[in-house]
Amino acid sequence: MLVTGPVTRQCADRLKRICEQMPEPKFVVAIGACACSGGVFEGNYNVLGGADKIIPVDVYIPGCPPRPEAIIDGIVKLLKPAKEAKSSDKR
């Protein structure tokens, strides 16, 4: 799952429910400053903060906006251990 914005009170329950419904293996990526920490909206009455306040996050990609190279690098770092685990299962 890619989270790209701050977690608000309205979307927190939905985000948690969607994460619970995801099949294994689950991967959550917080893309951008808003998804990582709440960004410029942190401290507002309706913003709870970053995605890690509600669900476990595997990879954080900072930036406002995040650079395309950073997004690609984060996804590669996320998928490398998964690919290695899959190849060891075949042996």
Dist CA 24 CA 36 (whole Å): 23
Q: What is the pLDDT of residue 39?
A: 87
Q: What is the pLDDT of residue 88?
A: 67
- Note the Cα 71 to chain centre separation in Å: 11
Q: What is the pLDDT of residue 48?
A: 92
Mean pLDDT, consecutive 10-residue stretches, the chain (91 aa), reads 92 94 91 91 90 92 92 90 69 58
End-to-end alpha carbon distance in the chain: 29
Rounded to two decimals, the pTM is 0.82
Q: Which CATH number fits domain 2-89: 3.40.50.12280, 3.40.50.2300, 3.30.360.10, 2.30.30.280?
A: 3.40.50.12280
